[in-house]
Amino acid sequence: MDNNFSEVYIHIPFCVRKCLYCDFLSFAADEKAKEKYIDALCTELMFIGKERCKTSLSSVFIGGGTPSVLPSDLIVKAMESVKDNFTLAEDAEVTIECNPGTVDEEKLKAYKTCGINRISFGLQSVHDEELKSLGRIHTFDDFLKSYDAAVNAGFTNINVDLMSDIPGQTTESWEKTLKTICELKPAPTHISAYSLIVEEGTPFAEMEEEGRLDIPDEETDREMYHMTSKILSEYGYGRYEISNYAKPGSECRHNLGYWTGVEYYGAGLGAASYYGGCRFTNTSELPVYMDDPIDSFKLDEKLTLADKMSEFMILGLRLTKGINTKDFTKRFGQDVMDIYGKQIHRFLDEKLLEEADAEEPAGSKMIRLSERGLDLANHVMQSFI
C-alpha cells in the first residue's frame, strides 16, 4: 500500500469537562493517565514515522479534547517524537488547539520553542452568559488573557473558533461577537464560524427533546449566517470554505488538505486516517490503546473509484473556489461532466452552482457553489453521494 500522507493529526482526548454540545471523544483524566497516554502516543508516532510515512509533512494538527490541559512538557515530548520520526517540510504548519484559561505565557513559549507555530482558540462567544449556556469552562476575560499571552509568546498565526445558534443568542449578540474578535489587536489571522449542531447523545439533545433548548429559530439562523460573511469580509477576512475565513495567505493548511483529498494519518485514541485509498480508525478504548498503540487501528473501508469521485465533489464544493475540472480528470482519468453532468447542469440551471475560468491549467473550469448555493449546500452535495 502506498503511504503518501503528508499531514498528521494528533488526538489528545483529555479535557476539564465535556461541554453540553460536545460529542467528541474526550474526557477528564488524572496526571498519571495523561503521562501514560503520551508515552503510548510517542510509541505510535515512532512506528508510523519510521514504517509508514514516505513523504515530508506539510501539516501537523494537535486537536482534542483540549490539548492545552496537558502540562507543557508532555506536549513538548509529543512534538519531539514528531520531529525525531518524521521529516517536517521547512514551512510546515503546526497547530495546537487551546481552551482559553488553560494556557499562560510560559506554556505558550514552550509550544513555540518546540516547533508549534499556530494556535487555535476555542472561544465560541464574547458573552459570558452564552458561554455558560454551552457549558464552557472559561469567560471572555480568560480568553483575552490567553490571547494576549499567545501574542506575547510570539505567535502571529492565531485562529479563533466562534459559534452561532447558541441558546439565548440574538443577532445583536452575534454581531458583537464577530466585531469584537475582528477588532482584537493584533487581529487573528483566521476565524472559524460554525453553527451549533445538536448531536445525538449529548445533553443538548436531551434538552431539545424535552423542549428546554432555547436556540434561535431558522429565520434568525439564516440572518446570522449572512451576517457572518458580510462582517468578516468588511474586516478583511476572505471566505475560503463554508465556515472558515482567513486573512490573505492564512488559510488553514490542515483543513485545506482534508477538503482537497490530501492523505493524512491520525495518531492517538479514536483518531481516523486516510491513505492508500483506505480509511482506518484507532480504537476508542483508552486501556486498549495504551496497552498496544501500534496495533490498535482497524481498516474501516477501502474506497472504490466511485467513492473517491463522490468525496472529491462533496469536499471540494465546500471550498468557495470549488473544484477544478482538469484536477478531476487528472485524478480519475475521466471527465467530470461524463460522471456528474446531469447534477451539474441541473444546479447550474437552478443558479445553485456557477462556472468560472480557472487560473490554471489552461482550458480548465472551476465549478463552485453560488451565493444562493452556499445557503443550500447540503441539498447540492447530497446529489453527489
> How would CATH label the architecture of 305-382?
Orthogonal Bundle (1.10)
Q: Residue 1: its pLDDT value, please?
A: 47
CATH placement of domain 7-259: 3.20.20.70
Spacing of C-alpha 168 from chain mean position: 26
Q: Among residues 2, 54, 13, 39, which one has the least CA distance to residue 269?
A: 13
CB 118 within 8 A of CB 159: yes
pTM metric for this prediction: 0.94
Angle value at C-alpha 120, between 181 and 52, nearest 5 degrees:
160
Q: Residue 223: its pLDDT value, please?
A: 95
Alpha-carbon distance 368 to 374, whole Å?
Answer: 9
CB 283 within 8 A of CB 231: no
- Residue-level length of the chain: 385
Q: Describe the crossing of helices 140-152 and 105-113 by its angle, rounded to 10 degrees.
A: 40
Q: Residue 350: its pLDDT value, please?
A: 97
Ranges of residues in the chain with a pLDDT under 70 are: 1-4
For 66, phi then psi, to 5°, come to -130, 90
Q: Where are the domains of the chain?
A: 7-259, 305-382
Q: Describe the crossing of helices 31-51 and 72-85 by its angle, rounded to 10 degrees.
A: 10
Cα dihedral sign for 298, 303, 308, 309?
negative
| Element of type H or E holding 171 | helix 171-182
Q: List C-alpha distances in Å: 49 to 55, 76, 262.
A: 10, 17, 17
Alpha-carbon distance 198 to 220, whole Å?
Answer: 17
Peptide bond into 186 cis (omega under 30): yes
Alpha-carbon distance 60 to 261, whole Å?
Answer: 16
Alpha-carbon distance 324 to 213, whole Å?
Answer: 42
Q: How many CA atoms lie within 13 A of 102 on its CB side?
A: 25
Q: Residue 359: its pLDDT value, please?
A: 80
Q: Residue 4: its pLDDT value, please?
A: 64
Q: What are 170-174's contacts with CB under 8 Å, separation 24+?
A: 170/216, 170/220, 171/220, 171/223, 171/224, 171/227, 173/125, 173/127, 173/130, 174/224, 174/227, 174/228
Q: Is 384 left (phi over 0), alpha (psi -120 to 50) or beta?
A: alpha
